[in-house]
Structure formats: C-alpha cells, structure tokens
Amino acid sequence: MDTLVGSSVSHYHIVRRLGAGGMGVVYEAEDSQLGRKVALKFLPPDLAEDGPSLERFQREARAASALNHPNICTVFSIEQHEGRPFIAMELLEGHTLSQHADGRPFETGRLLALGIQIADALESAHAKGIVHRDLKPANIFVNARDQVKILDFGLAKVEGARGPGAGPAASQVQTRAAGEDLTVPGTAMGTVAYMSPEQARGQLVDARTDLFSIGTVLYQMATGSVPFHGPTSAVVFEAILNRDPAPASSSNPALPAELDRILGKALEKDRNLRYQSATDLKTDLVRLQRDLDTGRRRAAESADSRSGARAAERSIAVLYFENLSGVKEDEYFRDGITEDIITELSKIRGLNIFSRPTVLAYRDRAVTPAQIGQQLNAAYVLAGSLRRAGSRLRINAQLVDTRTDFPLWSERYDREMQDVFEVQDEIARKIAEALRITLSPQEQEALAAKPTASLQAYDLFLRGKSYARRLTRQDLEFALQMFENACALDPNFAHAYAAIANASAQVHMNYGRDAASLARSVAAAGRAVALAPELPESQVAQAWVHLAHGRYDEAVRLVRQAIARRPDAEGAYYLLCRAWFATGHFAEIVACADVAIEASGEDYNVYVPIVNALASLGKHDALRNLRTRRITAMEAHLKTVPEDARGRVLLANDYADEGRTGDALRELNLAVTLRSNDANVLYNAACAYCKLNSKAQGLDTLRKAWEAGFKDADWARRDTDLELLHGEPEFDRLYPARAPGA
C-alpha cells in the first residue's frame, strides 16, 4: 500500500498514485492554497541521497520551469518532504505518444499537427539554450484535445543562451559554468532507439540532437515502427551509426513524398547536413500541412464546381441600410435591422449570402451595385434605407442585378414599428420569389419565427447589444439594464436572457469576481436554455458561465457547437479565443484568426486574444499585419463612437507597438479620462505603459486595475504586453501563478 496516498505534503493533499518510473513516482494532488489539482513527482527514497540522481531530478525542475510554452509541461515549484525532494507540476489528462501510437501509423494530418507542436516547443527550448536529449514517445504527452506536452527534462543540457531573450531563462536554469554537464564526453545519455549518432558516440551534443530524436519519433508515427531497431542495444547503436532507414512510404504508401524528404533530412547522420534548427523543421511541416490542405480544398472545389457556379448566380450582398432619420441614436437600430435581414436570407438554402463582416466594409460608402458585384463577385446587391419617426417606420429596399445595374425587385414599406418583423420576413420571401426559389415548409417556418413578440423589447435588446461590446463596467451595466427591461416586456425573449448571461459573466470576470454577477449569469443562461435550447446564443451563454467558473474545456465545447450552427453568434469567437488563451492554446487561436475576425464583424474584442496569441508565439510578421488591420478598424469605429474608452485604450496599445508615442499617449489619456476607475480600461492602460517602457506607471496602473476588479491571473500572467513587469514582487502578489484551467 502506498503510504503517501491520502496524506498531506506541505499544502498538497495527495489523492492517488498516477505512475512510476526509474526517476520518480507521480501522484495526483490538490493544492489547498490555490484550489487546483497538480501532479507531484517524488524522487524515490533510495535515490534521494544519490548525488547524480538528485542533480538530474533538480535539473528537470529548473529546466522545465524556465520554459513557458503551451506544449511543455508547466513546473510550478521544487520542494522537499521529510528530506525527499518532489516537483509540483501541471496535472495532465490523456496519454503519452507511445500509448497513442500502439504500433499503428498515425493519419498524416494528425501526424503533422502533433509534429508541428513538438517542433514549436523545441524552438522555444532551444532559443533559451536548453537541449532535452531524451525525446521519445514516452516523454511526449497528448491530451484529449490533441495538445502536445513535452515531459521529463531530467537529461536536459543547458548551453549558453542562444538568440534574443535566451539569457535570463538560461541563467535561471544554470547552476554551473556555461555548458558544464553532469556527464563528460564519452558518456551516452538518452534512450537507445531515439539517440542521435553523436549521442551514440558519446560526443558533445547540441540542439540538432533533439531534431534527430524527433525525426525518429515522427518516423515511428508515420510507419508504426522505429527506424533503427534490433534485438540488442549494440545492434541498434550500429544501425544508428551506419545504416539508413527504409523510406517511410515503403511501409505506408499513403504518406506524401514530401514527408519522406523531411524525415530523411531530420535523420541525417551528419549533424551539419541535418535540420539546423527546430524552426526549419517546423516550417517544412507547416508548409506540407498547408499544401495538403490546399490540395484537398481544390479537389473539393473541383468536385463542387457545377453546384458552386449555380450558387454564385444566386449570391447576394446585403448592404447596411442608409439611416435617413439623421439621428445618431438610430444607428444601432439601422445596423440591427440590416443584420437581421442577412440572418433571415441565410435561412434560405438556395441563396448564397455574404456574411455581415464582408459587407461591413461598404457601410456608408458611396459605391454602386456594379462595383460591389465586381469586388465581391456577387450576382445581386440588396440596398435600402430606413427612416423612423415616432411609432412609424419607412423602409425602402431593392434587389439590384450587379451585371446590369437594374433592380430586379423593389418595394417601399410604410408600417407601424411593431410590424418590423413582418417586413423582414416579406423582404426575404420577395427576394426568393424574384429569384424563382421555392421555399420549403421548414424554410417558411424559419422565416416566420420571431425573436420576440415585442418590438419595444427588440429595440431595447439592439440598443443594449451595441453598448455591451465596449466591455467597460459602465457600458455593461447600461446594457444589462436594457436587456433586463427587454425581458420584463417579453419574459420569453431567449436572445435577451442570453445577452444578460454574457454581460454578467464579463462583469464577474473583469470587475472583482463578485458572486452576485456570476449568479445572475447562471440564472439568465439557464432561462435562455430553457426557452430555446438549440439557439446558438443560448449555447454561447452557457459557455460564458463555464468560462467564468474556469471550466475552459467545457466552454470551448459549447461555443464550438454554437459556431457550427451560426458562426456569427454574438461574442462566440471572442469567447472561444479567450478560453484558449487562458489555457495556452495559442496555436489554435492563430489558426482560426481570419475566420474569427470575419465572423465577429464590428465586435473588435476578438482582436485582443489573437494579438496576444501571436505575441506569445513570437509570430512578429503576422502580428504587425494584424495590428495594422486593427488600427484601421479602430480608427473607423472611433469616428462613429468617439466615447468608446475601451476602443481608445486598445488603439493606444497599437500606436505604442508602432512606435507612435505621441498618438499612444493621446489615446491613453482620453481613455482614462473617459473611464478613470474602470478595471478593463486601466488594465489595458497598464499594458500600453509597459509598451512605452514606463515600468513604474505600468505597475501603478495595473495595481489600480486590480483594485478596480481585474483579477484574472490566467490572462495577466500569459499576457506578453506585461512582460516588463514579470518578476516584480508586486506583479506576483497581484496575479499569483496558477495551473492552466484551474
């Protein structure tokens, strides 16, 4: 019986034993101080007094703790219990790569996805002068989301820092002179089947050694067997040193020829002919992944070319209706009506409707239908105007053939405001009729469905939605008042209950973690689900509740279901990217960036986790391009909504990144003046001060943000904008380290 199970060690309560190996026994435990689950790895008692074993154990902790990467297992601390050292680390759920493989080849797409993550992790480790030296399937963990986590840096070698930013991390790990090792030349370190030739010879190793080992792992994933094998270690050594493996495609014909080339280069016996960096290997894997995806997409496009041509003949760009009332307050109503018409038309299978963000660029621009048809390849444009006066509403709409610039259908509606849903329904039906599309009974039923029976409730909902996107506390509270009033007018308005859940969750997360806001979010989400369980907005509301509770995986699952039904569901992609950022899934955020921005339309919040993910991954070129896009979007937005303090502070950050110090300070001062006590604005102001290299002001502003209620440690500790403050005792006090997802 294991005597540690059920006992308390320091501030950890040990729950169960997870496994054991030559260098340690691993337990699942609960951290009573931070309320999270962790893994504790203990050095076996018989090795605790063994100098080299203890040094290797400590080296594992120091090497891994110096690395902050989503594909490397996070180490929190190294401690002792009754003279027995142990490491506290991230608790992982899943299997090692060796358990996943099970002697069978991986599907090519999955092999590349995992291989890219492994190479990305090595790129980070090597940049900090850390060579793993024992990479093998047993040391590569894969969780349920197919996220890689590299384990066991017990044999890691710390070299002199290489590359920008390597110095501090390397010095954190090194306890000897640069390059000094526990072993001496002539000693082989690692696992035989995955060793490089230089390891087999007992020579000094460098980062290229890891690349050979990863080549061996990828070969095994591609074929189901290692490239160098034999009945004894001596035979394996001889194969590593003198024999070339058979091409992987000879045992797995489904592999692309390019993968054979990549594996061959990784497994070069002469390290000078091998890949010279993990970056080079990753680049080739990413390029192959892209080429395979492009090939599949082109094949699908070719197969669907005839049906695609027919769909193009019925493609419609719905332009934002012109607001003829001249009242700025009516802008939200104009936008809401236009977006609802887009949604209505999207319910008709025979139509190909351009998304809301695609047509957003043409809002209030003097362009002709023919110009839009040429730029978007749209067959038709739906244009119009609206004017409301008191309880009366006038809508003009016309469907224009972009090839001839003549209207195919037009209509004027003079109605009471309460008839607005019937007008939207009729416009959709008339367009289908003009294009000779027969509506199915299901489509007719979908068009007839109304979000609410009360136009006044609908008006309040649209007004609240335009404020909720700004995320300052004052704007969120005003939005919540609008949503609550809408629900009072129509107790069955599921969209409004979902909006309450979303806004309340964000008040909870950004402004003090108060129980009342969280309870309000839970109750509203429950009501939305009870009224309309299949509504994408109801699922997004549930996801916000899970996000507020720190249940990131469940939040991701629900919001992805919502996106599958309706990609432009309010706040869906922002929530998804925020959940991924909190758990270090930066690559996933970057992969969906373009789709997320397109689907989010005017909701500029989606840029925030994408920008931070690119910064965390060091993708500087892509970051500069995205920052340029956001500057353009924010400048245009602030022309129409100059009072948006959050928009201004985000623009200040972008100006700071661009080196436009004067512009950054102007927007920063305006934002703080508009919302001087808002936690969200203050947090982003702290980020801007850090980018302007003003540490004292950044730390002071961050403290004010914390006091005002921004206490999201998962976000703050991963935010590269605050790197200037990392290591400051005050920063660690405000935002203590915690396990991802805890």
Residues assigned a catalytic role:
134
- Sorted by sequence, the CB contacts under 8 Å of residue 368 that are 6+ apart come out as 405
Helices 420-434 and 331-346 pack at an angle, to 10 degrees, of 40
Rounded Cα–Cα distance for residues 486 and 652 (Å): 35
Bridge pairing between strands 75-81 and 94-96: unpaired
Angstrom distances, CA of residue 37 to CA of 11, 12, 88: 12, 9, 10
The DSSP letter of residue 49 is T
Q: Which residue has the tokens 């909504």?
A: 641
With contact defined as beta carbons under 8 Å apart, do 555 and 543 qualify? yes
Angstrom distances, CA of residue 259 to CA of 142, 282, 284, 289, 495: 22, 12, 9, 10, 49
Rounded Cα–Cα distance for residues 640 and 446 (Å): 34
Q: Which residue has the tokens 């006044």?
A: 456
Contacts 24+ apart (CB under 8 A), 463-470: 463/332, 463/333, 464/496, 464/499, 464/503, 465/332, 465/336, 465/499, 465/570, 466/331, 466/332, 466/335, 468/499, 468/502, 468/503, 469/602, 469/603, 469/604, 469/605, 470/641, 470/644, 470/645, 470/646, 470/647
Angstrom distances, CA of residue 597 to CA of 216, 387, 563, 581, 590: 39, 30, 13, 16, 11
Look at residues 26, 151, 27, 155 and name the one whose alpha carbon lies nearest to residue 96.
151
Rounded Cα–Cα distance for residues 674 and 652 (Å): 14
Q: What are phi and psi of 299, to 5 degrees?
A: -65, -40
Look at residues 399, 394, 419 and name the one whose alpha carbon lies nearest to residue 324.
394
Q: Which residue has the tokens 């070069």?
A: 268
